[in-house]
Amino acid sequence: MDNELIKKYLANELSPEERNAFEQEMENDPFLKEGMEGLEEWYTHGTIGALETDLHNKIDAKVNEPKKGKVIPLHFFRYAAAACVIGILALLSWRLLITPNRIDEQAIYASYFKPLTNPDATVRGENGASEESLAIQAYDKEDYFEAVKYYEKLVANNPDNVKNNLFLGISFLATNQPKKAVDVLSKITTSEEFHFDIQWYLALAYIKNKDIPQAQTTLTNLTKEENYYQKEAQEILDKLDGKVALKN
């Protein structure tokens, strides 16, 4: 994450996917969240300079109120206010500077993740009553929590069914459960059936889970053979090159 991304967030110039990824990152990083809350308040004033002017005006009004007791010089409050602003900005900048190679993996994930269309969705129709039909219907309707429920039962009954494992893994990703997605998808990587789909969604699960080395290895495998994901896999590798995710 860099200063430009922060500026775009404050100016509401991020795409919905980028903004969602940014806000998820704030939820995972209390320091960043606290700093951004302060910056958002400052941004409503227009500039930091405007904030300082506002602070000084309020201080002037407060200090000029008739009071008994010791009088504290006005410049003391002004220096204190300026020091407060500068100090918080310095802390946030320090946090950004000490991680110059940090990658915003959540933004990458949000940009590239899209659930795979189930090839059986149009075949099964709305009237199927089997577990598999219900799983496909829930998935097709984008009710991924419901899809997880049915696919978990299907996989428990038949662990070797590659298709059901794949769509269970994707449903886990769609419900923000990347660790479970990794657990499921990593067990079927040797399958020839849906081979490239499995590699792609496993790579995205690694990225979502902030396991950049594993993501790079998986994406590299995708770039070595001609497939539907080859170009996008290389794009992500270029973005990940020389960078690491910041662990919580």
Sketch the domain layout of the chain as residue ranges. 3-100, 107-240
Token pair listed for 141 = 């309707």
The whole-number pLDDT of residue 34 equals 67
User: Per-residue confidence at 67, pLDDT binned at 50, 70, 90?
Assistant: low
Instruction: Give 107-240's CATH code, choosing from 3.20.20.120, 1.25.40.10, 1.10.3720.10, 1.10.760.10.
Output: 1.25.40.10
| Region 172-183 average pLDDT | 97
User: Per-residue confidence at 246, pLDDT binned at 50, 70, 90?
Assistant: very low
Compare 223 and 13 and report the one with higher pLDDT. 223
Distance from C-alpha of 128 to C-alpha of 121, rounded to nearest angstrom: 11
Tens of pLDDT, residue by residue over 80-90, are 555 555 555 55
The whole-number pLDDT of residue 196 equals 97
Distance from C-alpha of 143 to C-alpha of 134, rounded to nearest angstrom: 11
User: Per-residue confidence at 154, pLDDT binned at 50, 70, 90?
Assistant: very high
- DSSP conformation letters of 209-220: TT-HHHHHHHHH
Angle at 132 between CA 131 and CA 137, to 5 degrees: 100
Instruction: Look up tokens 């996008």; give the residue.
Output: 232
Tens of pLDDT, residue by residue over 89-142, are 555 555 544 444 566 888 999 999 999 999 887 655 455 578 999 999 999 999
User: Per-residue confidence at 206, pLDDT binned at 50, 70, 90?
Assistant: very high
Tens of pLDDT, residue by residue over 212-241, are 999 999 999 999 999 999 999 999 999 988
